[in-house]
Structure 1
Amino acid sequence: MKVTLTTILRVLLFVVMATMVSYMVTLRQKVMLMERGYEDGFDVAIGPLIYGTLFLITVFTLIALNLVQIWKIRKKKAIRIEDYLLPEYDVSDERARDITGRSVKFAFVAILVYSFLALSSYIYIPEYFLDYMWYPMAVTASIPVVGLLVYYASYQVLVRR
């Protein structure tokens, strides 16, 4: 359950952040085009406040999960730093450590392969940059999302074995 919750929260964090940044960059781009004389003016609608609210809720929930994990772990005598950093698994369970390690390896390989493909797609940005300003933000935010999803999927498969 903790793995599902933290994966959903982390993916949500990247998606909301990419949406907020994309909105702000698009707005700034329109202002720059107007300053340079390419546009006479433009209409601005205030972005939905749900993005900022969702971002803050996600961040505070992740912080709360980590604080609860630290509170549980601090009573033990032999504590390592990785016990604090990963709230997904019980550090006293040797099988959970092995499963998490293997899942992280799969996620790392997926991030490396996907990063290469994502960065290769940036070659087309100059042609479509003005029309598709959201693309670089979406692709950049999707890199850790892909890693998190591969981590989650491989963790669930390995736990069920």
Structure 2
Amino acid sequence: MVRSATAQDFSFFYSLYMHPQINPFLMYEQMDEEAFQPIFHDLQSQNQLFVFEYEGQMAGMFKIVPFAHRTSHIAYLGGVAIHPDFAGKGLGTQMLHEIIAHCGERGFLRLELSTATINERAIKLYEKVGFEKEGVYRNYCWLKSENRFLDEVVMSYLYPQ
């Protein structure tokens, strides 16, 4: 089940964004809870953060950022993660199918995302549910803590028209 995030979900989001297996593939450097609080509050207050629940437990997260004007039919899908405790159960596929359905119900015709080119598991998962590669952003993500850049593959899902 997909639902909007609430202020009470802060600890879950913080634990995923800062998880050592997940953090290198997301937007934010490691930080303490106090520094992450305004980021979470801003995204949550704009109704851009969502929780994926499995059997009544929070298992995954993502954000949907709608575009505007001539691109208002597009949403950016970011911050996609399944908690490692739920890995290997097919929940990534299930969550993405629910995200696609949710965005389709909201009237979007295109979903975009990007992920590190070295994140092969994620790329395979996105392709499995219908996303296609469109290009590569070179030196796109700066991992300050590792003093290196990551290239990002840009992918999209187009809804049938």
TM-score (norm 2): 0.26
- Select the structure that is richer in strand: 2
- Greater RCO, CA 8 A, separation 6+: 1
Q: Which structure has the highest helix share of the two?
A: 1
TM-score relative to the length of structure 1: 0.26
